[in-house]
A and B are shown apart, each in its own frame.
Chain A
């Protein structure tokens, strides 16, 4: 089955500088290819060529200056199975990553590709928002933006002349808890709703918290009203109250897959489950 009918050129740059140069100077529409899943599932017939990122050396996961850095071509499984990621949040981040899609697709989906595509159902976007991650991209010079801010800008226009280099987030200490919930019917299904939470709990009180949710069915965003509601609360008290608040204040809609009321219920249930898990 021929999916892309007008491909004339393939580029295999060796450095990110070279890749950006090719992207900027091309007269024809080119597609930057990390894992390539989105491209093959949603082929765009206007594309005339590919820039493959395989040889750019962006396949790293490392801890540097108090940050966890994940290169753009790292796959979900690379990250989920890395000892560095397994060692964070009692293994909860690794478990969350391992729950996304199927084993085969986790071997193909990359962090760079997920951030660049920002599919409404992306679990990676939800996770990175909760981790307050930075997106590092290169357009001739390097830029770092909080992913929340990056998505508020016209990031697709930026990426016409830039390539994502890495995502990174702070290495949080043990007072921070992380968790993710997603509702699917089977392994390869996309989530009907996903939610991730990062909370700093001290003496059973929520000192700081980030909540993000996606597949609403709109793209992932932070749930700021819920964050404000929970901040400073006693954890046990928050567990009792969170379901109703999250359900009533969620910015969700219905679509062909599930109606709005169902997503509201899920939002409340997920928020409660995540907070409960932080108390264990």
Chain B
């Protein structure tokens, strides 16, 4: 079957097998910035924004979100023009192996859209589904707080 998505602002049409999850369809079509791991929704590595809401693409059927707007971490910024969150994660040492980073940044992005001045507890809750096994969470929370400062300064 054919599905249509708007991914990072561009329209796409893919011919898919309807039993596939969104993660696989996106990766097979070149969006390898989305990482796959648990396929149970427990690690958050595959997080994308679906119509602005962070969800695990490994537990969403590709056919289920036909017509949706999807944002991956590359939709926020790139190496030449990073989003303040991407910049903050690098500057605050919140990236080590980097496997969880795209998902964590998207979860944080969704939080800041909804609540530009979150408390530490609210930050921790927003990224509680994004597991990190090397950097740890202290630097991630620091990075998100630093990104809030950068966003306020318009950097």
Contact = CB atoms under 8 A, between A and B. Distances in A.
Given A1-B24, A4-B19, A37-B59, A104 B47 contact: yes
Given A3-B39, A103-B128, A41 B18 contact: no
B84 interface: no
Select the residue from B17, B19, B125, B129 with max chain A CB neighbours within 10 A.
B19
Contacts of A102: 42, 44, 128-129
B56 interface: yes
A9 to B, nearest CB: 8
Nearest to B39: A1
Interface residues of A, number: 29
A224 to B, nearest CB: 34
B61 A188 contact: no
Contacts of B40: 41
Contact of B59 (A12, A98, A108): A108
Contact of A7 (B19, B41, B129): B19
A157 interface: no
Contacts of A52: 63-64
B72 interface: no
Interface string B119-145: 000000111111100000000000000
Interface of B: 1, 17-21, 24, 36, 39-42, 44, 47, 53-56, 58-61, 63-64, 66, 107, 125-131
Interface of A: 1-7, 9-10, 12, 33, 36-37, 39-41, 50, 52, 54, 98, 101-105, 107-108, 187-188
